[in-house]
Amino acid sequence: MGNSGETINRFLVEVFHEILRTEEESLAAYAPGLSLRELHLIEAVCLAEDGGGDNRSTAIAAARGVTAGTLTTAATLLERKGFLRRCRDEADRRVVRLLPTEKGRRVNGFHAAFHRELVEAVLGALTPEQAESFSAALEGLARFIRRKGAVPAGAAANNEI
């Protein structure tokens, strides 16, 4: 793999876990009893609502890569905790839309601020040219991760190592 490859590997593994741990700790201090998974669902609902996207529960489930049943369970819990609310579509009563409450918007704002600080810390250490190169490298990483996630379950088990 070479020295650069080993350094990048160590960085990706360590930093990924460190970011998640830090995010979980700051969330626990700000919103005790709320998991990162729940927070990311609130974020998806806020993005759909604010961006004029599809805030139907089925669309959010698809966007998050979860089943409708899993989303329903999570939405019920977040509704009980006061972060989300459900409403029936006036045009089609079968459709359930998810909306953030004020409490949900506040915690999403906290989450967005955490990510802004994270990005600012990275960009503050780079020249504009380095930031452009880093962004391109991250796009390549994202494409790889998306491709890996598209592999059907069990497909990797058939390959010998």
Residue 97 lies in a domain: yes
More confident call, 155 vs 130: 130
Tell me what the mean pLDDT of segment 62-81 comes to. Answer: 92
Tell me what the mean pLDDT of segment 69-90 comes to. Answer: 93
Residue 160 lies in a domain: no
User: In CATH, what number is assigned to the domain containing residue 60?
Assistant: 1.10.10.10
Range of the domain at 71: 34-151
| Dist CA 7 CA 133 (whole Å) | 17
Residue 116 lies in a domain: yes
Residue 78 lies in a domain: yes
Q: Note the pLDDT tens digit of each residue in 10-53.
A: 888 999 899 999 999 999 999 999 999 999 999 999 999 998 88
| Count: domains in the chain | 1
Q: Pull the structure tokens for residue 53.
A: 């996207």
69, 37, 83, 62: CA torsion to nearest 10:
-40
| Dist CA 109 CA 117 (whole Å) | 12
Residue 15 lies in a domain: no
pLDDT at residue 157 is higher than 80: no
Listed in sequence order, the residues at least 6 apart from 1 whose beta carbon sits closer than 8 Å to its beta carbon are: 9
Residue 111 lies in a domain: yes
Task: Provide Rg for the chain, Cα atoms.
Answer: 19
Residue 68 lies in a domain: yes
Residue 3 lies in a domain: no
